[in-house]
Amino acid sequence: KKPGPGGVAAKKLMLFREVINEAVGDAISGLLAVEACLKLLDWSCEDWLARYDDLPNRQIKVAVKDRFIFETADAERRCVQPEGLQAEIDKLVAGVPLGRAFVRPSGTEDVVRVYVEAATVDETLKLGQAVVDLVFTRAAGVGSKPVVS
């Protein structure tokens, strides 16, 4: 008995899991996964790129006294420490169309990385500066406060 379309799709999905290294998420397995998806969908790279519009974004480093006061969750998209910081970021993001922002500590230097994106460049810059200002104030920023440009 041949499996139906659902069985074939389920088998492909299970095989797909074998390609991805969930523990480290390495780039090679990610590349192989993309290649597999393109092949299964019979898409070219151009087809794939045509389905995605990159939003204006910025990544900013904020020098801080102690990066270890920051803790994240949800694949580093939510800041759980310092307490209350994520709620303040969420308020800033709520007022920005297609806005998104997250902060995470660097693994190697006393900086916090701020990532922001929004519908327009102007909104991205404003949101970015607001989050940078917040992090700099809440985390005892050192040196000059970054200007988002």
Higher pLDDT, 98 or 3: 98
- Give the C-alpha separation, 64 to 130, whole Å: 16
Angle, CA 87 vertex, CA 136 and CA 76 arms, to 5°? 75
Higher pLDDT, 33 or 83: 83
The fraction of the chain above a pLDDT of 90, given in percent, is 63
Mean residue pLDDT across the chain = 89
Predicted local confidence at residue 91, as pLDDT: 97
**9: phi then psi, degrees, rounded to nearest 5:** -65, -40
Tokens of 73: 């969750």
Whether 21 and 29 have beta carbons less than 8 Å apart is answered as yes
pLDDT digits (tens, 9 = 90+) for 47-100: 999 998 899 999 999 999 999 999 999 888 899 999 999 999 999 999 999 999
